[in-house]
Amino acid sequence: MSLGQIIRNRREEMGLTLDEASRRTGYSKPYLSTIETGRVKNPPADDLLVKLEQVLGFEAGLLVHIAHVEKLPADVREAFESSKAENAEWRALIQQIISEGGKVEAVLQDERFRRRLEGVGPGCEEVAIAGKLVPVINNVSAGYPMDYDDKGYPPGGADDYVRCPDLHDPNAFAVRVVGDSMEPKYHEGDIVVFSPSRSVVSGNDCFVRLSDPHETTFKQVFFEESGTIRLQPRNNNYAPLMLAAERVNGLWPAVIRYEQLRD
């Protein structure tokens, strides 16, 4: 969860309006709104974060720490958070040994901790992985195909990231859904992660890249016996799109969906 989401969730839990938060911190309502929505160009100053910690009842230094971590380059941040997860594993192991009265033998019956101590064995390298940071690179049309825009980012780069446990595809990417053609399964604003390393089978929900013209869309994909490809919306209000196979120059299946909870 991003710094802005953490601040907004706590403010709403306390029943504070943006106007009230603005009055108590001395910072403008529009500026606080850009922080909460992630549209602020520069990270908030520590002075503001300290005031928000006080007004919203956070532990002293928590928001400042989160902001400083978010400033780190993606690869450094991933290594840092993975290290934190590993330290948590070790603390849990030590606490379990203490709770067992110092009997290490009893703790070693736990296969996960035994692999952690030995540093070998299947799955050992995954014990402390906090989850891969996947770049959010684009908005994809869950409606009619639209011009493709990767925002000019190099592979793996973006303004925002989502953390995806148990995903190991180095080329994975995420997009925000625009439109309603994939409802009721996907809603506008959802973030969907796609994995280029996964094979596509008929019926998969896919990020689809088209040529002539260069467009993208998000649809359920079916391979017809005639050799054509059917792009099928999940929303029955939209008609399927039949395409010649040569016009499709990219199909990547959806593997994870992040949905904003709705009332």
- pLDDT reported for residue 135: 82
Which residues contact residue 232 at a Cβ distance below 8 angstroms, ignoring those fewer than 6 apart? Answer: 219, 220, 221, 222, 240
How confident is the prediction along the chain (263 residues), in pLDDT tens digits per residue? 678 889 999 999 999 999 999 999 999 999 899 888 888 767 788 999 999 999 999 989 889 888 887 776 666 666 666 666 666 666 666 666 666 665 555 555 655 555 555 554 444 444 334 467 788 876 666 655 555 444 443 344 455 778 887 787 888 889 888 889 999 999 988 999 999 888 999 999 999 998 888 888 999 999 999 999 999 999 999 999 999 999 998 899 999 999 877 66
In b/e form, how buried is each residue of 32-41, taking b as 16+ CB within 10 angstroms? bbebbeeeee
Q: What is the pTM of this model?
A: 0.51
Partnered with residue 133 across adjacent β-strands are 163
Helix, strand, coil abundance in the chain, percent, nearest 5: 35, 25, 40
Question: Would you say how long the chain is, in residues?
Answer: 263
Which residues contact residue 124 at a Cβ distance below 8 angstroms, ignoring those fewer than 6 apart? Answer: 115, 116, 118
Partnered with residue 135 across adjacent β-strands are 161
- pLDDT reported for residue 166: 75
* Cα torsion angle, 161, 167, 169, 174, sign: negative
**What Rg, from alpha-carbon coordinates, does the chain have?**
23
Question: Which DSSP string corresponds to 205-222?
Answer: EEEEEETTTTEEEEEEEE
- pLDDT reported for residue 259: 85
Q: How far apart are CA 54 and CA 21, in angstroms?
A: 11
Contact 148, 207 (CB under 8 A): no
The 10 Å Cβ neighbour count of residue 207 is: 24
| CA distances from residue 181 to 205, 238, 248 in whole angstroms, order as listed | 12, 6, 19
- pLDDT reported for residue 97: 62
Domains of the chain, earliest start first: 3-71 (1.10.260.40), 74-126 (no CATH), 132-258 (2.10.109.10)
3-state secondary structure of 85: helix
- HSE-CB at 215 with a 13 A cutoff on CA atoms is 13
User: Strand ranges (DSSP E) for 59-190?
Assistant: 132-141, 146-147, 160-164, 173-178
